[in-house]
Structure 1
Amino acid sequence: MNVGIGLPISDPATLLTWARRAEDGPFTTLGLLDRLVYDNPEPLIALAVLAGATSRVRVQTEVLLAPLRDTALLAKQTATLDRMSGGRLVLGLGVGGRADDHEAAGVDLHTRGRRLNGQLPLLRRLWAGEPYGADAGPIGPAPARPGGPEILFGGFKPMALERVARWGDGFLAAAPPSWAGGLFDTVREQWRAHGREGAPRLVAQANVALGPQQVVDDARAAMHAYYAFTGMPDRMVSGMLTTPQAVRDTVTAYADLGADEVMFYCYGLDPDQVDRIAEAL
């Protein structure tokens, strides 16, 4: 099974070091979270820099909050990144749930799902080279991957899972193995119900901190701050993997569920974690 690294968001200046170490290791993908009203790097810009510093690993948004963005500009930005990276962009999409993000973007929080549903066919049309509309022509450049970058959807509700079959190529499961199995089954059922050929790509996500206690404490504090808005950050942090054996067991558990890849998200800043995860594997 493929293994990727979810990058820490606390200090953008460190991400080049993380990316180069991952490129030299066994990892397949670099992932980056998205928020607007938060002290994190903008993911498309950051991943463009990292794509230019690497040649092999994929760059993946997990998840990009598409409703916060203008659709035509998003189509152009993602096609550019996909083209310039040689088709290495994987576009993980979601709707988000923070009222402050939507307030800052000038987007109605309560219509975010409908907005995403309207964005998806337009993105696909623009990536295919079709005109924007009657009074505006095509928006280039053409992406490296015909039809646009690979799209994965994150989420838990039925509508989010159904989008995978309607518009996507796969599913991002930010859930432990005990929960992810049911989500995977639902995605597969929707895939068949929509008459899709093949199978959806299934990507799991787990949080990890490997190293001295200071590294673990740093990761827990950063993750706690990130998920404070949920009202249950302690529960989120409690699931963090902090031993090599836990990392190996998690890979095995997701593999048994049929996952194609697991992304290990690191909230601690120490880039030596890349090597420690590689050793654990």
Structure 2
Amino acid sequence: MEPDLNAAVLKEWAKVIDEGPFSSLCWGERIAFDNPDSLTLLGALSAWTERVRLVTTVVVPQLHDPVLLAKGLATGDVLSGGRLTVGLGVGGRNEDYVAAGADPATQTMRQMADRVAVMKRVWNGEKVTDSVLPVGPAPVQPGGPELLVGTIGPKTVRSAAPWAAGLAGITMDLDVDKQNELFDVARTAWAQAGRPAPHLATSFWFALGDHDTARTQVHHHLRRYMNWIPAEYVDAMAPTTGWAGTEDELAEVLHRFAEIGTDEVHLIPTSSDTGQLRRVAEAVQEFS
């Protein structure tokens, strides 16, 4: 989501992540923004990496035709050798729905679940029309990629238990106790649905450095990324949103999340500088 990205920068990030101790390489989707298209990027990442899981955090199904989205994601699963995990969410920006020609009234968990059902039919090789052959290719992972739900609300977490394998959430203020409460909602909902224990992932923005410099970096990033929110609101939330500090302090934060059973923390960069990424790699070695 940083400005002025090009193929060389994206490829370097992918290579460093793939060679490092990280479990996943994640990227998000926006339409009315200058980030790369998610499915096109998936194809490139499949070629640039060999080890790491590729995780969409998140794709918004309502912005796509579900059959074409299923085909594109299945293609990404094939190209990556079955390394794809698909995080899905309803999205928080009306302008993206308008830009994609999608109906803002479909911005609900129910509408997302309906599209998930179509995608799973495609991945299972069912015909969704009277075509001669079903829509392919068949994904490498039987039944399709693992699905995670990108949400932070208890009600929406419960609604995803029938179809999702877990959470790909976000914590704005790194409140570990509040995060654990949401995880408990998921654990209960998945058990009541007769599902295996959910994969529990959360994310937060980060910047490494002395506190003032790092906090300024986070603030600058949020000002650009959250451009649909009035700037004064972003300025008010920036001092407590995301994380800024040293490598040792980051490790301490990650330990606190590990103690509540977090399976993964997806660290959201606020700079395109791979120096930040390499420093994070050193800080998280003990968790690999």
TM-score, normalised to structure 1, is: 0.90
Q: What amino acid sits opposite 1:139 in the alignment?
A: V
Per-residue deviation at 1:105? 1.5
Q: Does 1:140 align with 2:133?
A: no
Q: Does 1:271 align with 2:274?
A: yes
Mapped contact 2:25–2:53 kept (Cα < 8 A):
yes
Q: What amino acid sits opposite 1:124 in the alignment?
A: K
Provide the rounded CA distance (Å) in 1 between the counterparts of 2:260 and 2:67: 37
Per-residue deviation at 1:137? 4.3
Mapped contact 2:219–2:238 kept (Cα < 8 A):
no
Q: Does 1:124 align with 2:120?
A: yes
Query: Which residue of 1 is the match for residue 263 of structure 2?
Result: 260
Among residues 31, 34, 56, which one is paired with 1:39 in the alignment?
34
Mapped contact 1:224–1:237 kept (Cα < 8 A):
no
Instruction: List aligned pairs for 1:157-172, cutoff 5 A.
Output: 157-172=153-168
Per-residue deviation at 1:117? 1.9
Long gaps (5+) in structure 1:
1-7
Among residues 68, 75, 78, which one is paired with 1:80 in the alignment?
75
Mapped contact 1:61–1:93 kept (Cα < 8 A):
yes
Q: What amino acid sits opposite 1:202 in the alignment?
A: L
Q: Deviations over 1:195-252 (max 9, x none)?
A: 11x3110111021112477676444312222124345423256333222133112211
Q: What amino acid sits opposite 1:207 in the alignment?
A: W
Provide the rounded CA distance (Å) in 2 between the counterparts of 1:246 and 1:155: 27
Mapped contact 2:154–2:182 kept (Cα < 8 A):
no
Q: Does 1:246 align with 2:253?
A: no
Provide the rounded CA distance (Å) in 2 between the counterparts of 1:135 and 1:55: 35
Q: What amino acid sits opposite 1:195 in the alignment?
A: G
Query: Which residue of 1 is the match for residue 197 of structure 2?
Result: 199
Per-residue deviation at 1:271? 0.8
Q: Secondary structure at the match of 1:229?
A: coil
Mapped contact 1:33–1:62 kept (Cα < 8 A):
yes
TM-score, normalised to structure 2, is: 0.88
Q: What amino acid sits opposite 1:57 in the alignment?
A: V
More divergent stretch after superposition (215-224 vs 97-106): 215-224
Provide the rounded CA distance (Å) in 1 between the counterparts of 2:154 and 2:191: 15
Provide the rounded CA distance (Å) in 2 between the counterparts of 1:110 and 1:257: 36
Q: Secondary structure at the match of 1:138?
A: coil
Mapped contact 2:207–2:214 kept (Cα < 8 A):
yes
Counterparts in 2 of 1:120 and 1:47: CA distance versus 1, 3 Å = same
Provide the rounded CA distance (Å) in 1 between the counterparts of 2:85 and 2:24: 9
Q: Deviations over 1:93-149 (max 9, x none)?
A: 000121111111122212222321210111111100010134574100000100100
Q: What amino acid sits opposite 1:210 in the alignment?
A: L
Query: Which residue of 2 is the match for residue 4 of structure 1?
Result: none
Q: What amino acid sits opposite 2:61 in the alignment?
A: A
More divergent stretch after superposition (128-137 vs 39-48): 128-137
More divergent stretch after superposition (128-137 vs 112-121): 128-137
Counterparts in 2 of 1:214 and 1:271: CA distance versus 1, 3 Å = farther
Q: Secondary structure at the match of 1:107?
A: coil
Query: Which residue of 1 is the match for residue 111 of structure 2?
Result: 115
Counterparts in 2 of 1:109 and 1:254: CA distance versus 1, 3 Å = same
Aligned-residue Cα RMSD (Å) equals 1.9
Counterparts in 2 of 1:227 and 1:109: CA distance versus 1, 3 Å = same
Per-residue deviation at 1:69? 0.6
Q: Deviations over 1:147-182 (max 9, x none)?
A: 100110011234421243111111012012232111
Counterparts in 2 of 1:156 and 1:183: CA distance versus 1, 3 Å = same
Q: Does 1:63 align with 2:88?
A: no
